[in-house]
Structure 1
């Protein structure tokens, strides 16, 4: 294959800094969507390129060549490309294993059952757990729950957190967690975690995405209660309570009001609302070029491999359809 197969593997190292730079200039909601979208659009071509390298190497195996009715000797890959392709085979297996573990970590069915069984009280979509540790998080709803209470998910709060906050601060906490559920932030988190399995550079998008998702929920809570200072105070007190008395367990991937860099979130809430800033043209251009370049290179590399296979098939009298 040509150089095209390497572009999707190299460009994410440029895509990540450009995406982070651009997200820092955007409001939280578009910033979170941008980061999640970049993770997916850069991760899929990278995984495809790894699979193409592995496939090109596997075609040299006699058993695979016999199945494809082709002549391995006529495949144009040199020794270096063959060696790298061979190394890509365990890489593909590692990617698949990491992706399966990530999906398993984000499974929620057993958590809903366990939380409903151990809850001390429930009112609508709010579930209270008997735990002296302070915690609160959003647990997304299960598929197929339409028409039932809490179908969008549950807001789980411990008794320790409720004791640490006053009534107004509790209202902020609930508004914050409901914003996570309404915005489907768990899907953004799953996207970023899966992308991190596909290419190591994309791990750099998970932390800024988590921060922007928390800021998104903070802003929704501020609009709901109408007091940004109250939201900042509630976030700070919840974080102090959680630090002083951590809860026994929190599900992986759960969005909590105490997550992320809390002082930075409080500073953003206490600062005057910033006017819309012009988006950095250079970062936008670099990001678009990287994403489009990765997609185009993946298509080019796929076409190259297909042509190589057709050539090797024709050599043994079995032209490809």
Structure 2
């Protein structure tokens, strides 16, 4: 399998030159655009890896899948989906336009920034520190990595440049979608996006979802099968931003991308996959990671459709 991954990495690295690293969060602009890595974690306990699989990067929007699981466990789906919808948008992940033009005025899904901010506001905890601590510990548990923590530089960079997210959050508070202190909610959101991971961490989170919320090896059910099914469905319909439909047709795997260059994928009953490539396409998806998943899906017949 690792020979296969090595071949796919070598075959795909050229495409990193066709994208650009994210610069709207200044700290992300420091990444090496030609980095490309992949890891597979399967049900039998095998870990296969290749390329720059151990390069650390921030999880960014992939964290939306994890906060959604926790919010659903904290509140139940009726409460969560009263505040945020279930439909793809067709717009960019940071678009604000439909918040004002649709009624009721709520984010269309939890995988866009507005929806993820609402989800973060629903996490239980006496204050912002407890809320983030619960989220971080949850992520540590399902990834099997108790050393996960935030990248302080990226967090401060996100906080200082996050005015569009602030605009969306204050608008949603004005129309009654969000309750609580907006700056506290945004601190949780900015911190969750700034957690450092590598391809192995993402592959293990993907495997957890592929295994219906059960920690592989221990058999411990952390999240209900129903919640993991909801999350994987959002990954198919909304996980690759406004390129999700094309990705579903071409690759056919539940996946969630982040502008830090990561993609986390879950192949039900089979494996979790983590990829890294900070060079992004015009929709904000890793151009190299997309290519790796496309090639891997074709070779191993991974499409769920």
Sort the TM-score into its range (normalised by shorter chain).
under 0.3
| TM-score (ref. length: structure 2) | 0.24
More helix by share: 1
Q: Answer with 1 or 2: which has the greater Rg.
A: 1
| TM-score (ref. length: structure 1) | 0.24
